[in-house]
């Protein structure tokens, strides 16, 4: 058993860290309403979007662990940019694995180079955890599909170039009727409406209305009815979403802790630095412990994936627990700063707003614990009404 | 509440109905403004809620502390930003007996009519929890004092007409050198700037800078050197009131969640049917009920003239903490929809956190509790 990153992985981590400090640490990104395209381009040039993408589309071989390191290191400086990286992979990797040559030729290189930004159009107003409720439909029309329906919220929807959309090609059946389609977001029949959020502003979500939007049949990703296994909520890519969003949250938490440590060494009360008070130092110690445990859980889940083993249980554990650990660490760091931490002179209030999004991104805590229950207890622990879904997991 | 008197129960019903009737409409929009609206202040004043005094001598409506607590909880269920207005009015009446006749005449009628808004200032850039370490000075100059220094983190600071503040009249004397003053914020030499907070925006938390501000000696409250003890005495109540305000806010949030989980369905049944959801609500209801009882116990002890510093400190760290955890979970139960900047659940969570910070950190409160339990000899030293 080894708790070591490989030499390649360490070098990669160093390169990402260096970029983040140099290019991201020097600017105010968290309050922008978009991700600056020049940053995406620079990251594309450095290969940040190329991991595990086939080489003919500009990709590079890499371990899953390396994608985790990328997300964690970037999130230490910018939660939103790390979010953009995660979502970009959630479009490019299914496209690389299940896409037709045409879809790959037209979109994959752009995503890999950071010229194009992707988004995931999955959730609808009527159904979050429950994808059975998907109402958006894609009807076969000769050599294409006609899409009708609404999706919300879609992170990066306002600025994204292409969406991976999940729609029912067979509305009469549940999740078995769900199909994934690549949808260029400039097509006629698409309307966007911006959603103002409480945080994670650069991810700028929107709601989409698709009113008879036509995409070529070759933009279908995977077979009809295979959408559910592909999608990032509970399908084959859900472990990726659960682990990577966990590492993003923990990356941010490490920065909050670092700031709290230096503040509590400098701030004096009752004649000594407040870090001399155990109420402060123990809080820091406790959060450091939890973050360390949670990080290794994430990397263990990624290492399992690299070895081709099942990581469903570990990934779902990451999904519910890591954002919780991060929330607590950031909130404690805010409170250690007192009222100063509550206003925008410090990054904590923004980080805390941002991290709440990560408490929702992989689905509710309840649904993630249900996956853990399923894996540790068995199908007996899954309510009958939900058990359909677990056939795929 | 089981131990409310008949009169307190009647007041509770009345103030609850009043808050719902007067403040339901537009509360969501008002929570996003950077001031408390004149309309809200006027409604509070018109019903006498801005003279929540306990000293019959100076108020037309003497009230016990439990009743004042009820007012805070019930109003904040609907109109949380009113908290700072209610709190400070209570504080003013708490200090009225030490004011000069001239100052009472100047302050009391105008504040109870809602025509003059006050704030309270002790915290400074270099000291918050360590309240005795203030650096602001007040130097006697004939019939005046000249005030120099900076106060920070002052709720209501931007909107208020005047401040009740601490300053050192004898910088060498430690806590015994601290004196209380009433200072009009329109006085020459006062400047202010606002903090952009993550919540409780209408409180307009501010920094106040006093650059040689002259105030009449009659604006001193109590004797020189009495400021610290007088302030600490009022803190024992204001801490509980902040706790009840936070709980009021969280009770509203919980009620909204209860309605939501009944109507929202997932996997063919309402969310409320899942234990992972409904037990979470049950847990928060339990903790909040315990916190509420603790708050009212502290106020009841005060009404009976019994020691209550420990209970007040317990209430101050525990109640806002319960409120923040509850509003956070409610936000997550609402899910994505509550991440929208106009959703009430995220607003309440952001607002609730302010109560964890204002009026004393959890660490100071636990210190007070520990000292009461262990005695000075065995307590952590400051």
Closest Cβ opposite residue B198 in set A127, A130, A342 = A342
- Choose between B343 and B234: higher pLDDT: B343
Q: Rounded distance, CA A200 to CA B377, Å?
A: 49
Q: What's the average model confidence in pLDDT over B135-159?
A: 96
In terms of CA atoms, which chain A residue is nearest residue B352?
A: A342
- DSSP letter for A196, please: -
pLDDT at position B164 is 95
pLDDT at position B47 is 92
Residues in chain A with CB shorter than 8 Å from the CB of B195 are: 339, 342-345
Q: Rounded distance, CA B107 to CA B116, Å?
A: 8
Q: What's phi and psi for A104, nearest 5 deg?
A: -65, -45
pLDDT at B70 over 80: yes
* pLDDT band, very low/low/confident/very high, at A71 (cuts 50, 70, 90): very high
pLDDT at B153 over 90: yes
- Alpha helices, H only, B96-226: 101-112
Q: Rounded distance, CA B9 to CA B317, Å?
A: 26
Q: Give me the percent of chain B exceeding a pLDDT of 70.
A: 97
Interchain contact, B339 vs A279, CB within 8 Å: no
Interchain contact, B382 vs A270, CB within 8 Å: yes
- A200 neighbors A242 (Cβ within 8 angstroms): no
- A61 neighbors A52 (Cβ within 8 angstroms): yes
* pLDDT band, very low/low/confident/very high, at A301 (cuts 50, 70, 90): very high
pLDDT at position A79 is 97
Q: What's the average model confidence in pLDDT over A75-92?
A: 97
Q: Give me the percent of chain B exceeding a pLDDT of 90.
A: 81
Q: What's the average model confidence in pLDDT over A171-181?
A: 87
pLDDT at position B1 is 62
Q: What's phi and psi for A164, nearest 5 deg?
A: -95, 110
Q: Which of B101-110, B128-137, B160-169, B236-245 has the lowest mean pLDDT?
A: B128-137
pLDDT at B60 over 70: no
pLDDT at A129 over 60: no
B216: tokens are 């009449």
Residues in chain B with CB shorter than 8 Å from the CB of A338 are: 128-129, 153, 357, 361
Q: What's the average model confidence in pLDDT over A259-286?
A: 94
β-bridge mates for residue B340, sequence order:
A197
Closest Cβ opposite residue B153 in set A129, A278, A339 = A339
Q: Rounded distance, CA A347 to CA A281, Å?
A: 21
pLDDT at position B228 is 87
Cα B112-B115-B118 angle, rounded to 5 deg: 75
Q: What is the 3-state secondary structure (H, E, C) of A56-75?
A: HHCCECCCHHHHHHHHHHHH
pLDDT at A386 over 80: no
- The gap from C-alpha B123 to its chain's centroid, in whole angstroms, comes to 15
Cα B127-B355-B379 angle, rounded to 5 deg: 55
Strands (E), chain B: 118-121, 137-141, 144-154, 162-168, 178-184, 190-194, 206-216, 220-221, 265-266, 269-270
pLDDT at position B174 is 87
- A287 neighbors A329 (Cβ within 8 angstroms): yes
What does DSSP say about strands A206-216 and A144-154: parallel, antiparallel, or unpaired?
Answer: antiparallel
* pLDDT band, very low/low/confident/very high, at B198 (cuts 50, 70, 90): very high
Q: What's the average model confidence in pLDDT over A282-302?
A: 97
* pLDDT band, very low/low/confident/very high, at A236 (cuts 50, 70, 90): low
* pLDDT band, very low/low/confident/very high, at B179 (cuts 50, 70, 90): very high
Q: How far is A381 from chain B (nearest CA, A)?
A: 12
pLDDT at position B256 is 98
CB-based contacts of A113, cutoff 8 Å, min separation 6: A41, A44, A45, A49, A58
Single out the residue of B292, B306, B313, B317 nearest to residue B2, CA to CA: B292
Q: Residue A104: helix, strand or coil by DSSP?
A: helix
Q: Which of A113-122, A229-238, B82-91 has the lowest mean pLDDT?
A: A229-238
- Alpha helices, H only, B61-214: 65-78, 82-95, 101-112
Strands (E), chain A: 118-121, 137-141, 144-154, 162-168, 178-184, 190-194, 206-216, 220-221, 268-269, 272-273
The residue written with tokens 């009807």 in the block is A139
Interchain contact, B197 vs A349, CB within 8 Å: yes
- B114 neighbors B45 (Cβ within 8 angstroms): yes
Q: Rounded distance, CA B51 to CA B367, Å?
A: 32
The pTM assigned to this predicted structure is 0.92
pLDDT at position A392 is 53
In terms of CA atoms, which chain A residue is nearest residue B274?
A: A366
Asked whether the CA dihedral A312, A317, A320, A323 is positive or negative, the reply is negative
A244-253 pLDDT tens trace:
999 999 999 9
Interchain contact, A342 vs B128, CB within 8 Å: no
Q: How far is A348 from chain B (nearest CA, A)?
A: 10
Taking the Cβ of residue A334 and every Cβ of chain B, the question of whether any pair is shorter than 8 Å is answered with: yes
* pLDDT band, very low/low/confident/very high, at A389 (cuts 50, 70, 90): low
pLDDT at A393 over 60: no
B12-55 pLDDT tens trace:
999 999 999 999 999 999 999 999 999 999 999 999 899 877 66
Interchain contact, B363 vs A359, CB within 8 Å: no
B209-262 pLDDT tens trace:
999 999 999 999 999 999 888 888 888 899 999 999 999 999 999 999 999 999
Closest Cβ opposite residue B341 in set A132, A197, A349 = A197
Interchain contact, B340 vs A198, CB within 8 Å: yes
Report the residue of B264, B339, B365 to disrupt the A interface, i.e. the one with the largest count of A CBs within 10 Å: B339
CB-based contacts of B105, cutoff 8 Å, min separation 6: none
The residue written with tokens 């009021």 in the block is B248
pLDDT at position B229 is 86
A189-220 pLDDT tens trace:
999 999 999 999 999 999 999 999 999 999 99
* pLDDT band, very low/low/confident/very high, at A123 (cuts 50, 70, 90): confident
Mean pLDDT of the residues in chain A: 93
Q: Which of A193-202, A223-232, A364-373, B255-264 has the lowest mean pLDDT?
A: A223-232
Interchain contact, A268 vs B197, CB within 8 Å: no
pLDDT at B176 over 60: yes
Q: How far is A268 from chain B (nearest CA, A)?
A: 8
Q: What's phi and psi for A56, nearest 5 deg?
A: -70, -15
pLDDT at position B63 is 83
pLDDT at B116 over 80: yes
Cα A200-A201-A203 angle, rounded to 5 deg: 75
Model ipTM value: 0.89
């Amino acid at each position: 058993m080894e708790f070591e990153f490989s030499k390649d992985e360490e070098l990669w981590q160093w390169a990402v860290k260096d970029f983040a400090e140099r290019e991201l640490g020097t600017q105010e990104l968290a309050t922008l309403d978009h991700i600056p395209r020049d940053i995406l381009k620079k990251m594309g040039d450095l290969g940040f979007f190329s991991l595990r993408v086939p080489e003919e589309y500009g990709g590079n071989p890499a371990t899953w662990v390396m994608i985790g390191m990328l997300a964690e290191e970037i999130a230490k400086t910018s939660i939103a940019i790390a979010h953009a990286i995660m979502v970009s992979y959630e479009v490019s990797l299914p496209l690389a694995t299940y896409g037709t040559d045409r879809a790959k030729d037209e979109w994959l290189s752009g995503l890999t180079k950071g010229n194009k930004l992707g988004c995931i159009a999955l959730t609808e107003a009527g159904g979050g955890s429950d994808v059975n409720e998907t109402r958006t439909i894609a009807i076969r029309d000769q050599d294409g599909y006609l899409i009708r329906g609404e999706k919300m919220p879609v992170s990066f929807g306002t600025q994204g170039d292409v969406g991976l959309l999940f729609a029912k090609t067979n509305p009469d059946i549940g999740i078995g009727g769900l199909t994934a389609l690549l949808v260029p977001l400039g097509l006629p029949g698409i309307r966007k409406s911006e959603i103002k959020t409480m945080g994670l502003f650069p991810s700028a979500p929107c709601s989409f209305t698709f009113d008879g939007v036509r995409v070529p049949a070759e933009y279908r990703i995977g077979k009809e009815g295979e959408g559910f296994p592909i999608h990032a909520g509970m399908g084959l890519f859900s472990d990726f979403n659960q682990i990577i969003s966990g590492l993003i949250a923990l990356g941010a938490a490490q920065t909050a802790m670092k700031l709290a440590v230096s503040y509590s060494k400098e701030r004096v009360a009752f004649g000594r630095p407040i870090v001399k008070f155990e109420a402060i130092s123990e809080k820091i110690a406790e959060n450091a412990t939890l973050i360390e445990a949670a990080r290794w859980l994430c990397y263990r889940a990624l290492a399992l994936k690299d070895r081709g083993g099942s990581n469903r249980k570990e990934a779902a554990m990451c999904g519910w627990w890591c954002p919780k650990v991060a929330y607590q660490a950031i909130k404690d760091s805010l409170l250690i700063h007192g009222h100063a931490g509550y206003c925008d002179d410090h990054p904590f209030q923004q980080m805390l707003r941002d991290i709440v999004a990560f408490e929702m991104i992989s689905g509710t805590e309840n649904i993630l614990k249900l996956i853990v229950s399923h894996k540790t207890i068995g199908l007996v622990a899954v309510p009958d009404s939900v058990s359909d879904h677990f056939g795929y997991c | 509440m089981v131990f409310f008197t008949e009169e307190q129960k009647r007041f509770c019903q009345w103030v609850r109905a009043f808050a719902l009737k007067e403040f339901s409409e537009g509360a969501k929009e008002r929570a996003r403004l950077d001031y408390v609206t004149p309309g809200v202040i006027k409604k509070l004043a018109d019903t006498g809620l801005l003279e929540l005094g306990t000293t019959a001598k100076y108020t037309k409506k003497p009230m016990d502390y439990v009743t004042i607590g009820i007012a805070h909880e019930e109003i904040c269920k609907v109109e949380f930003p009113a908290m700072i207005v209610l709190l400070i009015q209570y504080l003013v009446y708490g200090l009225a007996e030490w004011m000069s006749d001239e100052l009472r005449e100047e302050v009391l009628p105008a504040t109870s009519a809602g025509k003059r808004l006050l704030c309270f200032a002790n915290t400074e850039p270099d000291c918050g929890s360590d309240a005795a370490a203030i650096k602001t000075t007040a130097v006697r100059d004939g019939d005046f004092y000249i005030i120099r220094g900076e106060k920070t983190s002052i709720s209501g600071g931007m909107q208020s007409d005047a401040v009740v503040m601490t300053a050192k009249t004898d910088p060498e004397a430690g806590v015994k050198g601290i004196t209380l003053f009433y200072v009009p914020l329109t006085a020459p030499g006062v400047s202010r700037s606002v903090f952009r907070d993550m919540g409780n925006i209408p409180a307009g938390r501010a920094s106040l800078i006093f650059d040689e501000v002259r105030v009449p000696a009659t604006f001193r409250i109590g004797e020189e050197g009495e400021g610290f003890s007088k302030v600490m005495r009022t803190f024992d109540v204001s801490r509980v009131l902040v706790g009840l305000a936070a709980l009021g806010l969280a009770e509203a949030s919980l009620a909204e969640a209860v309605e939501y989980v009944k109507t929202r369905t997932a996997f063919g049944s309402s969310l409320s049917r899942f234990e992972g959801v409904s037990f979470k609500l049950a847990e928060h209801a339990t903790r909040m009920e315990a916190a509420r009882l603790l708050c009212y116990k502290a106020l009841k002890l005060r009404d009976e003239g019994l020691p209550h510093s420990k209970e007040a400190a317990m209430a101050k760290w525990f109640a806002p903490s319960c409120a923040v955890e509850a509003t956070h979970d409610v936000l997550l139960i609402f899910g994505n929809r509550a991440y929208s900047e106009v959703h009430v659940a995220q607003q309440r969570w952001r607002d609730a956190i302010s109560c964890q910070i204002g009026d004393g950190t959890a660490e100071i409160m636990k210190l007070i509790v520990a000292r009461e339990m262990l005695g000075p000899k065995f307590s952590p030293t400051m």
